[in-house]
Amino acid sequence: MSWNATVLTLFPGMFPGPLGTSLAGRGLERGLWSLEARDIRDVTTDRHRTVDDTPFGGGAGMVLRPDVVDAACAAAMPEGDTRPLVFLTPRGMPLRQKLVRELAAGSGVVLLCGRYEGVDQRVIEARGMIEVSIGDYVLSGGEVAAMVLLDACVRLIPGVMGAAESAEEESFSSDLLEYPQYTRPAEWRGRRVPEVLLSGHHAEVARWRKAQAEAVTRERRPDLLNTEQGRDASARAPLHAAATPA
């Protein structure tokens, strides 16, 4: 069974976009996951294909109508479709790796891309939408945010990435940022790769990487240390220079 994604949008031509290239694109070609972009306007019944209206209470902008959004959701999710319905919005909860893992482990996801001033609150509540934000900033619409969420999920689908351990060691996979990475040449512009990485001692390498991940997380993202694992990490050694001059 493949992992199935449906995107509800006013601009279906934006998809697959970057999702049609690289790992995600190859996974799409191999049938490891599927992507359907549905035009919200297709469910409208008036000749102008109206999807929005002015907000009650006044204010600038337009709001997507609840009846139109509900009809689009119903068309995309026939009876028995248990995929979660996610609304991409700046007022949503932050997208975290934990949610990404949960979504990737299921059968797929339905994403609603907001536009204008947002979506009528009544349909959000009636449909039990999960409101998600990819960051503390405002985009022109939810399409780019949907691509971010889909890319994060798709790369965790079995078979999409070349090595499963790569996903396990990346930033946020264990509530920590990833440790520094190095490759050839061993010396570059007077800077050498840390000797422990050249030692061939796998246990020592693992300890060094863990210490570096804990230190860089404490320095750059202390908010991640609120987890039990993170609080334990916060008591460890400070971040040292990753590469040393020759």
Average pLDDT, the chain: 90
pLDDT exceeds cutoff 70 at 10? yes
Residue 1: band (very low, low, confident or very high) from pLDDT cuts 50, 70, 90: confident
Give the closest residue to 45 by CA, choosing from 13, 67, 77.
Answer: 67
The single-letter code of the amino acid at 19 is L
Q: What is the pLDDT of residue 185?
A: 96
Fold (CATH) for 171-245: Trp Operon Repressor; Chain A (1.10.1270)
Q: Spell out the domain ranges in the chain.
A: 3-154, 171-245
Residue 222: both structure tokens together: 């202390």
Question: Span 3-154: which CATH code?
Answer: 3.40.1280.10
Residues 42-55: pLDDT tens digits?
Answer: 999 999 999 999 99
Q: How many CA atoms lie within 13 A of 145 on its CB side?
A: 29
Give the per-residue pLDDT at 226.
Answer: 77
